[in-house]
Amino acid sequence: MFDLTDDLITSQSPTLRDLRSFTAENADALACAAALLGAAPGVRTALTALDGLADPGHPTARTMRALDDLVDLLMLEHVHDPYRIEATCFAALDPAEPVVEEICILADGLANALEAYREDACEPVAPGVAA
């Protein structure tokens, strides 16, 4: 009934390709940063995000939530909350350690790639273009 080609099924936007490329190239560093800043729960978050992006097609809502949580973890969004593991992990870090700068670079890179993908995914289809 429908004639779907492999190109239609597997096509992805350049911003999704960039997001996947960034996370694939930095997977180990993202997981290590998540371990430093969030212990085991942080690693689970990172692995959920990375595994979800490895799946074909567009990221699921679960993957997008995990990516948001990973960005929050890397951006230190919850270190002020004494009831969260991030506060304890952050307190154990020495700001002068070189890994801190690497985490900042990772956080910015992931946040930028995710934001670009979201902006691209939310753009309306141009008039006269079939969806």
CA torsion, points 32, 26, 10, 127, in degrees to nearest 10? 110
Structure tokens of 14? 């350049």
Structure confidence at residue 104 as a pLDDT band (50, 70, 90): very high
**Average per-residue pLDDT in the chain?**
88
pTM check: above 0.75: yes
Report the C-alpha gap between 29 and 106 in whole angstroms: 8
Q: Where are the domains of the chain?
A: 14-120
Question: What confidence category does residue 62 fall into, taking pLDDT thresholds of 50, 70 and 90?
Answer: very high
For the residues 63-69, what does the mean pLDDT come to?
A: 98
Residue 71 confidence (pLDDT): 98
pLDDT at residue 10, as a whole number:
52
Residue with tokens 């995000």: 49
